[in-house]
Structure 1
Amino acid sequence: MSKVSREDWFQNSSFVCLSIYLKQVDPNKSNVLFDHQAVTVDLFSRQDNAAYEKTWYLCHPIVPEQSTVCYLPQKVELKMKKREEGLFWKHLTSSATNDYSGGVELAGSSKDKSKEKTRYTPEQLSEEEEQSEDKDILTFFREIYENSDEDTRRAMMKSFVESQGKVLSTDWKKVASQNTRYDSE
């Protein structure tokens, strides 16, 4: 069994990308299978002359037919198309892997798509991570707003508008009687 130095993942509004850091993977002896809510890898490293096998049971569904794999000298990148665009995942995998209901036919073999190469610059990666964090925060505030009573919503709107986006309060009793203007002097 070959040793992976690390695994990383990041996302944007359309894709979840998983990087498996394993050197000199042979695409001809390796296989990646994308399922609607799982991905299975069977990678062969020429450097170690060994295999690496793993299955991730994903938190949310993907579109297997639009998911790709890219074999690079230092790693393998899996680019999985989200079924629900704009939904940001809090975790890559489901916490209870035994809740996965198998039986769905696996599709999207990596051997069919190994010629499609996707390379990211460090600037693109940090920009996507920053956008992801911003959207996670906005999603968090949206959930608070949607699940709140009318007074909390009024407080959030008034404090946000008056402070030009610098203050967000949920206490209507406090916000109703004062100006929440933000001065950064």
Structure 2
Amino acid sequence: MAEEPSTSLNKPKLQVKHDWYQTETAVVITVLVKNMRESYLNVSFDNNKVMVALSHPDFEHCELCFNLSHIIIPEQCSYKLSSTKVEIKLKKSEDIRWEKLEGNPSGEVIKTIPSGPVTLADRPPSYPTSKKGKDWSVVEKEIIQQEAQEKPEGEEAINKLFQEIYGKGSDEVKRAMNKSYMESGGTVLSTNWSEISKEKVQVKPPDGMEFKKWND
């Protein structure tokens, strides 16, 4: 009894896988399939579509259709066959980065691939005089106001008070303060010139303390 010819219904399916990558100007689809000949293969290109027909006599007919997410230039596309794969090179119509291989071209967000170094700014920052930047004169005034509002305590408060009195005082007040402070070894500070000018100011150490000169 003669053997019936093989039909597509009882032929095994081709084991086909594919992957893709891209450069600035092209997208490359790699179809992984073994023992494929040129006569078994047909690749066609359209503006946004690639058709791959695989007609191996020992397997079921297989067609792959890639509905591309962006437009390509069909006349500048090509493919290359090897023993383990078909490498399909697609020419981009625009030098943009594809987010995915397939999709609706009109619904994709276009992102341009930079061809050179990225420039962060085409002019120097606008501060400190720009309206959008910080006004450093205002910042300085705020700091001065904050310092003025801070209340000193203890010895710092006393020194600050003396500085204010000396700065605002008359010539007689300043002379009195200088004379009393120097002659008393820093133990007396007076603003009364009429009293301080009469005689040398004596040392008056705090209670419980004794004043001694360095050579004692």
TM superposition score normalised by structure 2: 0.43
Which structure has more RCO (C-alpha within 8 Å, separation ≥ 6)? 1
Normalized per residue, the structure richer in strand is 1
Structure ID, larger Rg: 2
TM superposition score normalised by structure 1: 0.49
